[in-house]
């Protein structure tokens, strides 16, 4: 299977990865090779098979709806790229 | 001292033949001397390690020592350790100081073990050669031209080169077993859900599992005793009674059955590796085990299925790296979208971006059923193959990797060839089964060969029994790389 330039461009946009023209061209070739490998599984008949997401088929545990986390804002903001007055700074999104 | 087992080290520490501070300093000195060439560690912090060692010495003096108290352990740089730089091998987290401890780190801290440093790894654990690390490739201590395997390549190198007493790794598609095989050490990935994933940086959450890497099965059992246990902060952690993984080590193997899947000995397996694996099987027959020929007919689909499921989960897990609250942020951008796109493009390496792209594609509108759902269905077929096989045998054995360590740069430009180097390990992760690798000799080029042992769910003690009995009868696991500089 081959991925077109437009396919790769669309996926890069969805994945929020900036790519230049040369990177898109290289990615199309490499991803096409990987999808050739993946294509092997298309021929398998799985009509009556239930999908398996986890090995143990567990059900989700529930807990009491109480606060268990402590406030660690200062601790966590020490590792942030840009903060001011206890807030995370990003470029303006609303005019 | 460097060749002592963990049991021997524990006894020496309790008998005051050596202190934890002295032992920790011994390893720190070796790391200082050898790491510039081997690159097994990304971060060491001598002062923090020695502070832990002093606390361990106090416990030892007070008669409060546990099995691993005072023993220096290397932690894969995928585990958050409070106050330690935790990079996951990525530029994205180059300056990330973890604000909390992973459950695995807590367990080691509670046992009085010393954190010796953070080991090198493929970026976000995506790789089979350790060459995708932002911090440079790790060298195989048996041959500096060879890769150590990956993704836990730094851990495997550190254990083999005696740069730690033991180490931790994680295994999503073979990342403990393959580097263990390529570096001539022992490693076990337990049943999915037995070791908590809390604080272990996520790659593919339904496959990721932590486990120990060491020089013998006996050591692995002691490490598993510390690492395993229920943790409510991991939604897939299993609620089970605590086990003693050492309990069956000395049992005889008489009457036990080893299944040999014909698919693991087919085309693609190199001759030298096949010879060592067959010799190991013959040794097991001498120890009283019998051989059963089995088949895992869907195992050929494991690699394609894995390269749908793992990237799909990775693309979701790695969407958190947006340059807002932690991690790398691009220096220049004109709006929010551009900040995301540039931070991610500059912060992630080529292989990580490739897998994010695959995952995003297979989960995108119109492709979900054809890829993701189909892969999940075949995953069940692969797991069912193992369930059927374990009706006829107690463990399954085969090669861990189709070849010994390949050369640095050898598979650099061809992701598909790299992916195929995990052909024997991936099915185990898809099924959620425990798998391990132990040394089974050396190839004519002097590079180590690994024997893979696969067990049924929760049969780690039985697998360690098989491994230990082999290690009592052979000395492959005792061999150390020579001429490494110290």
Which residue of A52, A64, A70, A93 to mutate against B (max B Cβ within 10 Å)?
A: A52
Residue A56 predicted with pLDDT over 80 = no
Smallest CA–CA distance, residue A21 to chain B, in Å, is 14
Do residue B374 and residue A46 have CB atoms under 8 angstroms apart?
yes
In a domain, A93, yes or no: no
Cα B323 to Cα B205: distance, rounded to the nearest angstrom: 22
What is the domain-level CATH number for residue B140? 3.90.1300.10
Smallest CA–CA distance, residue B80 to chain A, in Å, is 14
Question: How far from B453 is each of B211, B241, B357, CA to CA, in Å?
Answer: 15, 24, 33
pLDDT given at position B47: 98
Backbone angles phi, psi at B140, to 5 degrees: -75, 125
The total domain count for chain B is 1
- Interface confidence (ipTM) of the complex: 0.95
Cα B437 to Cα A63: distance, rounded to the nearest angstrom: 38
pLDDT given at position B486: 58
In a domain, B133, yes or no: yes
Residues B347, B362 contacting (CB under 8 angstroms): no
Q: Cβ atoms within 10 A of the Cβ of B415, count?
A: 21
Chain B residues with CB-CB distance to A76 below 8 A:
99, 325-326
Cα B153 to Cα B443: distance, rounded to the nearest angstrom: 19
The DSSP bridge partners found for residue B168 are B212
- Domain of residue B87, residue span: 6-254
Cα B29 to Cα B163: distance, rounded to the nearest angstrom: 9
Do residue B381 and residue A30 have CB atoms under 8 angstroms apart?
no
Mean pLDDT of B462-486: 92
pLDDT given at position A69: 86
Q: Which residues of B are catalytic?
A: 76, 151, 175
Residue B19 predicted with pLDDT over 80 = yes
Mapping DSSP to helix (H, G, I), strand (E, B) and coil, where does residue B336 land?
Answer: helix
* Cα torsion through B24, B29, B34, B39, rounded to 10: 50
Do residue B357 and residue A58 have CB atoms under 8 angstroms apart?
no
Cα B172 to Cα B230: distance, rounded to the nearest angstrom: 20
- Model confidence pTM above 0.90: yes
pLDDT given at position A2: 82
Q: Cβ atoms within 10 A of the Cβ of B324, count?
A: 18
Residue B483 predicted with pLDDT over 80 = no
pLDDT given at position B186: 98
pLDDT given at position B51: 98
The lowest-confidence range among A24-38, B86-100, B126-140 is A24-38
Do residue A55 and residue B238 have CB atoms under 8 angstroms apart?
no
In a domain, A95, yes or no: no
In a domain, A60, yes or no: no
Contacts of B284 (CB under 8 A, 6+ apart): B253, B258, B397, B466, B470
pLDDT given at position A1: 75
Q: Measuring CA to CA, which residue among B181, B185, B143 is closest to residue B38?
A: B143
Mean pLDDT of B427-440: 98
pLDDT given at position A95: 78
pLDDT given at position B421: 87
Which of B354, B380, B431 shows the shortest C-beta gap to A49? B380
- Domain of residue A33, residue span: 5-43
Which residue of B94, B171, B299, B377 to mutate against A (max A Cβ within 10 Å)?
A: B377
Residue B78 predicted with pLDDT over 90 = yes
pLDDT given at position B485: 63
Chain A residues with CB-CB distance to B377 below 8 A:
44, 46, 49-52
Model confidence at B126, in pLDDT bands (50, 70, 90)?
very high
In a domain, B448, yes or no: no
pLDDT given at position B234: 94
Percent of chain A with pLDDT over 70: 99
Which of B193, B340, B364 shows the shortest C-beta gap to A16? B340
Model confidence at B168, in pLDDT bands (50, 70, 90)?
very high
pLDDT given at position B365: 85
In a domain, A89, yes or no: no
Interface of B with A in 344-363 (CB under 8 A): 344-345, 348, 353-354, 356-358, 360-361
pLDDT, tens digit, for every residue of A39-54? 999 999 999 999 998 8
pLDDT, tens digit, for every residue of B55-64? 999 999 999 9
Q: Cβ atoms within 10 A of the Cβ of B271, count?
A: 9
The total domain count for chain A is 1
Residue B24 predicted with pLDDT over 90 = yes
Position of tokens 């399954």? B396
pLDDT given at position B398: 98
Q: Take residue B359 and report the two structure tokens written for it.
A: 């995952």
**Mean of pLDDT over chain B:** 96
The DSSP bridge partners found for residue B453 are B397, B436
Smallest CA–CA distance, residue A72 to chain B, in Å, is 9
For chain A, give the longest Cα–Cα distance.
58
pLDDT, tens digit, for every residue of B295-339? 999 999 999 999 999 999 999 999 999 999 999 999 999 999 999
């Amino acid at each position: 299977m081959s991925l077109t330039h437009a396919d790769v461009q669309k996926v890069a946009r969805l994945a929020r990865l900036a790519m230049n023209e040369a990177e898109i061209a290289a990615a199309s070739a490499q991803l096409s090779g990987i999808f050739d490998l993946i294509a092997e599984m298309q021929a398998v008949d799985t009509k009556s098979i239930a999908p398996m997401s986890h090995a143990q088929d567990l059900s989700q545990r529930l807990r009491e709806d109480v606060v268990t986390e402590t406030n660690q804002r200062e601790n966590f903001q020490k590792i942030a790229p840009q903060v001011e007055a206890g807030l995370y700074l990003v470029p303006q999104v609303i005019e | 001292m460097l060749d002592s087992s963990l049991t021997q080290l524990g006894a020496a520490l309790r008998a005051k033949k050596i202190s934890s501070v002295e032992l920790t300093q011994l390893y720190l000195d070796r790391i200082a001397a050898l790491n510039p060439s081997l690159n097994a560690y990304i971060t060491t912090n001598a002062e923090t390690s020695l502070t832990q060692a002093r606390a361990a010495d106090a416990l030892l003096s007070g008669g409060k020592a546990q099995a691993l108290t005072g023993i220096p352990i290397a932690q894969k740089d995928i585990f958050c350790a409070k106050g330690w730089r935790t990079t996951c091998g990525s530029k994205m987290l180059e300056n990330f100081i973890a604000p909390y401890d992973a459950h695995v780190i807590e367990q080691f801290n509670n046992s009085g073990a010393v954190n010796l440093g953070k080991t090198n790894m493929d970026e976000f654990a995506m790789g089979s050669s350790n060459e995708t690390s932002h911090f440079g490739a790790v060298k195989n201590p048996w041959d500096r031209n060879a890769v150590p395997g990956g993704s836990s390549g730094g851990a495997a190198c550190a254990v083999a080169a005696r740069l730690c007493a033991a180490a931790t790794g994680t295994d999503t598609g073979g990342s403990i077993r393959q580097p263990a095989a390529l570096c001539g050490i022992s490693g076990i990935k337990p049943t999915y859900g037995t070791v908590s994933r809390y604080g272990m940086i996520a790659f593919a959450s339904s496959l990721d599992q932590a486990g120990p890497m060491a020089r013998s099965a006996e050591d692995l059992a002691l490490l598993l005793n510390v690492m395993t246990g229920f943790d409510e902060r991991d939604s897939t952690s299993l609620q089970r009674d605590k086990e003693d993984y050492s309990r069956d080590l000395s049992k005889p193997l008489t009457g036990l059955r080893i299944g040999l899947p014909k698919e693991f000995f087919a085309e693609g397996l190199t001759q030298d590796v096949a010879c060592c694996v067959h010799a190991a099987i013959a040794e097991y027959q001498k120890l009283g085990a019998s051989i059963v020929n089995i088949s895992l007919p869907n195992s050929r689909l494991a690699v394609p299925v894995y390269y749908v499921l793992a990237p799909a989960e990775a693309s979701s897990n790695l969407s958190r790296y947006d340059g807002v609250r932690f991690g790398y942020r691009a220096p220049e951008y004109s709006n929010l979208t551009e900040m995301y796109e540039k931070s991610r493009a500059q912060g992630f390496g080529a292989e990580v971006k490739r897998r994010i792209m695959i995952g995003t594609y297979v989960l995108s509108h119109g492709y979900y059923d054809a890829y993701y759902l189909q892969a999940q269905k075949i995953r069940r077929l692969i797991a069912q193959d193992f369930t059927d096989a374990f009706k006829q045998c107690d463990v399954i054995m085969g090669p861990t990797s189709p070849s010994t360590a390949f050369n640095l740069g050898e598979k650099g430009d061809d992701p598909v060839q790299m992916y195929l180097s995990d052909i024997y390990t991936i099915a185990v992760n898809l099924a959620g089964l425990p798998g391990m690798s132990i040394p089974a000799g050396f190839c004519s080029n002097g590079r180590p060969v690994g024997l893979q042992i696969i067990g049924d769910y929760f049969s780690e003690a039985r697998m360690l029994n098989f491994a230990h009995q082999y290690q009592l009868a052979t000395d492959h696991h005792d061999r150390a790389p020579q001429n490494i500089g110290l």
